[in-house]
Amino acid sequence: MNKSLIAAALILCTSQFALAQEVFYVIKDNTTNECRAVDGTELAATQKGRFTQLGRYATMDEAKAAIASMPGKCPK
């Protein structure tokens, strides 16, 4: 019984860490052709037709560096 309780606790803790991890996205505004980096919560609030998702990154710094490396997709 103790082993099953420990296993259940480990499974619950592991899933909580996975859910707490932040994700950042590079999105392009299709009306202005501008790109920006946003976090996952802001991405859910954006209008689907107006924005195009260009990439998913672990940190905000990686997302901003990706914008600089996308001159064809992000002209501004």
Q: Please report whether residue 66 resides in a domain.
A: yes
Cβ density class 20-33: b for 16+ within 10 Å, e for less: eeeebbbbbeeeee
Question: What is the domain range of residue 74?
Answer: 22-76
Q: Please report whether residue 2 resides in a domain.
A: no
Q: Residues with Cβ < 8 Å from 51, sequence gap 6 or more?
A: 27, 28, 29, 30
Q: Please report whether residue 70 resides in a domain.
A: yes
Q: Please report whether residue 28 resides in a domain.
A: yes
Q: Please report whether residue 76 resides in a domain.
A: yes
Q: How many domains does the chain have?
A: 1
Q: Please report whether residue 5 resides in a domain.
A: no
For 14-73, the pLDDT digits (tens) are 545 555 578 999 999 888 889 999 988 776 665 667 888 899 999 999 999 999 888 888
Question: Considering the entire predicted model, what is its pTM?
Answer: 0.64
